[in-house]
Amino acid sequence: MYSLIKSLLFKLEPELAHNIAVSLIKSGALSLYKTDVNQKLAVNVCGIDFPSPVGLAAGFDKNAEIFNEIFKLGFGFVETGTVTPNPQYGNSKPRMFRLEDDLALINKLGFNNVGLDSFVANIAKNNINKGSQKIGANLGPNKDSTNRIDDYLDGIRRVSKIVDYITINISSPNTPNLRDFETSSLVNLLKEIQANRISGVPIFIKISPDIEDTDMSSIVESIIKYEMNGIIVSNTSKQRTFSLKSKKVEKDGGLSGKPILDLSNEKLSYIYNIAKKSIPIIGVGGVSSGADAYKKIKLGASLVQLYTSFVYEGPSLVAKINEDLLSLMRLDGVNRLSEVVGTAKLKFK
Ligand SMILES: Cc1cc2nc3c(=O)[nH]c(=O)nc-3n(C[C@H](O)[C@H](O)[C@H](O)COP(=O)(O)O)c2cc1C
């Protein structure tokens, strides 16, 4: 079924195809794929019960329009956003590219979104009968903002009481200088967030896979010092050092999908080993199978997310990943995924 829809969608320019997919999903097209999640996959992170450790990464449901429909597929959570205080058009088009031979995407969307007012209204409208799955809100600043820290604080104030967790996105490669928050501006940002928190809603910091090891250590230190609750590893990559088949490798923007799997796993493992068990990690980047998800969990992720493989593999992917996770748990003789978090190590040069 999806192969037919995919062959039609893949004839279209990727952003148009995405918008059509969102409309189809809104109209209930995913009901055909409705699936239950086995209770053995449940994980508790930051005091929140997630029915499955597999979530949809930020950027797919940017405006919080379709998370309820997406839950039908077996996702344990959906991270909505990135949302900015004011509506924003984003960068000029075309700004999304398929690298089909590499099972990858490049995007330079630049936080196109409806803004916080409409986002908050959408969450209220769609949050009815949500069930046990969880929602995250991924926050960013407007490109032309004169005070980006205030933009994040504004987002925190507006969504704290209506979502299960918040992500502070400091790693998009498509907003100029945003990644300064990963280095020189990090402490100022986290101090302000700590001082302005209005509820106990967990706050995760999402980082890029292009960070130097020393910067990762300072990020972990600051996350602990300023009482953030977790870290998401990782966003898309600006690097083009991967051996990619597609010519579109030259496009500017963030690379996602299969080629960034090893890179994001390296960062995840590095962070787990310095953070030990003090902060939970959401592992994201290149997951396209149960084995990929299980590997991230073994390297230290308590939850995983995916985006690009969903575009390539379609709606039945999540149920398959959930099933494969159960088989892998059975093979290892474990009853709970929490038993295997961080049990494997990557070797570093
Ligand atoms: C088209 C597209 C748009 C994205 N938009 C966002 C975004 O708004 N905010 C964000 O934090 N990450 C965004 N991401 C990054 C994903 O959330 C994820 O971190 C990244 O794609 C790596 O996962 P994947 O390899 O499974 O796609 C986007 C990714 C893609 C492909």
DSSP character string of 223-270 = HHHTT--EEEE---B----S----GGGGS-SEEEEGGGHHHHHHHHHH
Q: What is the H or E stretch that residue 49 is in?
A: strand 48-50
> Cα–Cα distance between 301 and 282 in angstroms, integer?
5
CB count, 10 Å around CB of 129? 6
pLDDT confidence of residue 96:
96
Whether 91 lines ligand 1, by a CB cut-off of 6 Å, is no
> Cα–Cα distance between 139 and 253 in angstroms, integer?
19
Determine the distance separating the centroid of ligand 1 and the alpha carbon of 124, expressed in angstroms.
24
Q: Are 64 and 116 in contact (CB under 8 A)?
A: no
Q: What are phi and psi of 72, to 5 degrees?
A: -60, -25
pLDDT confidence of residue 129:
61
Identify the residue whose C-alpha is closest to ligand 1 atom 3.
Answer: 59
> Cα–Cα distance between 183 and 72 in angstroms, integer?
39
pLDDT confidence of residue 241:
84
Q: Which of ligand 1's atoms lies nearest the C-alpha of 308?
A: 27
Name every residue whose Cβ is closer than 8 Å to that of residue 334 and which is 6 or more positions away in sequence.
340
Whether 107 lines ligand 1, by a CB cut-off of 6 Å, is yes
Whether 119 lines ligand 1, by a CB cut-off of 6 Å, is no
Residues of the chain with pLDDT under 70: 128-130, 347-349
Determine the distance separating the centroid of ligand 1 and the alpha carbon of 57, expressed in angstroms.
6
Whether 286 lines ligand 1, by a CB cut-off of 6 Å, is yes
Give catalytic residues, as residue numbers: 172
Determine the distance separating the centroid of ligand 1 and the alpha carbon of 103, expressed in angstroms.
14
231-236-241 Cα angle (round to 5): 120
Instruction: Please state the domain extents for the chain.
Output: 32-339
* C-alpha distances out from residue 244 to 68, 118, 195, 267, Å: 35, 39, 44, 20
Identify the residue whose C-alpha is closest to ligand 1 atom 22.
Answer: 285
> Cα–Cα distance between 183 and 170 in angstroms, integer?
10
Q: Cis peptide before 259, with omega less than 30 degrees from 0?
A: no
Identify the DSSP state of 73: G
- Residues 273-299 as b or e (16 or more Cβ within 10 Å = b): eebeeebbbbbbbbbbbbebbbbbbbb
Whether 285 lines ligand 1, by a CB cut-off of 6 Å, is yes
| Helix boundaries (H) for 71-198 | 116-126, 148-159, 186-196
Right CATH for 32-339 from 3.20.20.70, 3.30.70.580, 3.30.413.10, 3.60.20.10 = 3.20.20.70
pLDDT confidence of residue 349:
43
Q: Which of ligand 1's atoms lies nearest the C-alpha of 261?
A: 25
Q: What does the pLDDT look like over 236-274, one tens digit per residue? A: 999 988 889 998 777 899 999 999 999 999 999 999 999
Name every residue whose Cβ is closer than 8 Å to that of residue 121 and which is 6 or more positions away in sequence.
none
